[in-house]
Amino acid sequence: EVALRGLMEALPLLPAKMQREVRLNAGRLYREMGKIKESRVVLLPYAKDEKGDAKRRREIWLLLAHDAASAGEWTKASEALENWNDLSPSDRREGQILWVQVLFQLSKCPLAVEMAEKALAGEIDNSRRLGLLRISASCLLKDNKFTDASPFFKEILVLNPDDAEVAYQMGVVFEQTEELGRAADAYGSFVDRFPGHPLVTEAAFRLGSLRDAEGNRQAALKAYRLAVRSPRQQIFESARYQISLDLEDRGKLKEALASFERLASGELSKSKWRRAAGWHAAALLERRGEWNRALSYYSRISKIIPADGAEDDPRVREGRRATARVNQIEAYLKEIEERKEKVKRQVPLFR
């Protein structure tokens, strides 16, 4: 390190050609010592020197691009790759592969896909090919170009059938391109093959919805029973509601009521599924003659009308329906109480 410091101090005194050689050696030594920033400082002037050897300059720019990418300095990496490309390298694959990653990180998806297409046209190993395919598929998915993304996902699964994320995304792609039967099959396959994956409950919910649309209620319910484990409120509540409906449809009213009440126990204004469960619970309680418990649900629903709610706001309509039902039940209960009082006041015929 002392010798290297002395060499760098003498650098300005050396002829230009010798300076370039010293910079190459010093840059290499700094890198061996793990001092990447110092190496960049030493090598950058050589890379910019138009009188320097073109091959060496290309190598340096590509090296600097890799360093910047490793440090997450994507703009610097892109600038280095542009300089590398300006020097017309004969083999562009390594630079192109890196550039695809850089463009993706810079959110320049169209350019990333275009660059990936060029890189994929050449002979590259499966590991790098998979990386390029994933970036292209992700970019196209991000831009809602589901049809264009489909062949990339399919090729990924050919190269790596155990890629759970891509297996799930295939279901999404088929669903968005309205190939609903294939979407259901893809989600079903995902659920069977990756039961411990974090996305399994989402896949199960989508599978349940698609099977329901096909009219296959039993297959849908099987999927909903898995989806109900989801930590996501929207999925859990929707699946729970479907399971509760099934219990009601099959005449298991006690279990249905318990299920609906469990779902409706939270704040009703936060979820349409909670409110729907509240309506069903209230109706079942009415059938059992438990008017006051039914009244409590209607009363809760009646209070969800937002202060600034528009006439077409479903919460406004629900709130008004519930208010009307509250008034009806309260009037009915009042009438019953009045009858009881009247009976109490009547004078008996015989003493």
pLDDT tens digit sequence for 120-151: 988 899 999 999 999 999 999 999 999 999 99
Is 70 exceeded by the pLDDT of residue 1?
A: no
Q: Which amino acid is at 103?
A: L
Q: In this structure, which long-range contacts are made by residues 179-185, counting pairs with CB atoms below 8 Å and at least 24 apart in sequence?
A: 180/210, 180/213, 180/214, 181/214, 183/210, 184/210, 184/211, 184/214
Tokens of 46: 């050589």
Place of tokens 């994933």: 134
Asked if residues 205 and 186 have their Cβ atoms less than 8 Å apart, the reply is no
pLDDT in tens, 42-53: 899 989 999 989
Tokens of 248: 């009601």
Could you tell me how far CA 14 lies from the centroid of its own chain?
58
Predicted confidence at residue 21, as pLDDT, reads 83
Q: Which amino acid is at 334?
A: K
Is 80 exceeded by the pLDDT of residue 2?
A: no
| pTM, to two decimals | 0.76
Half-sphere exposure of 68 (CA within 13 A, CB side): 23
Asked if residues 97 and 132 have their Cβ atoms less than 8 Å apart, the reply is yes
User: At what angle are helices 126-142 and 93-105 packed, to 10 degrees?
Assistant: 30
Question: In sequence order, which residues have a C-beta less than 8 Å from that of residue 268 and are 6 or more positions away?
Answer: 274, 275, 278, 300, 301, 304
Predicted confidence at residue 351, as pLDDT, reads 52
User: At what angle are helices 291-302 and 314-345 packed, to 10 degrees?
Assistant: 150
pLDDT in tens, 178-229: 999 999 999 999 999 999 999 999 999 999 999 999 999 999 999 999 999 9
* C-alpha–C-alpha distance, residues 19 and 21, integer Å: 5
Per-residue confidence at 350, pLDDT binned at 50, 70, 90? low
pLDDT in tens, 259-317: 999 999 989 888 999 999 999 999 999 999 999 999 999 999 998 877 666 777 777 88
Q: Which amino acid is at 193?
A: R
Tell me which H or E stretch contains 50.
Answer: none
Q: How many residues does the chain have?
A: 351
Is 60 exceeded by the pLDDT of residue 6?
A: yes
Predicted confidence at residue 101, as pLDDT, reads 96
pLDDT in tens, 77-124: 999 999 999 998 888 888 999 999 999 999 999 999 999 999 998 889
Q: Which amino acid is at 20?
A: R
pLDDT (average), residues 53-75 = 94
Q: Which residues of 170-205 are buried (b: 16+ CB within 10 A; e: fewer)?
A: bbbbbbbeeeeeebbbbbbbbbeebeebebbbbbbb
Tokens of 280: 């069903």
pLDDT in tens, 11-35: 777 778 888 888 888 888 888 888 8
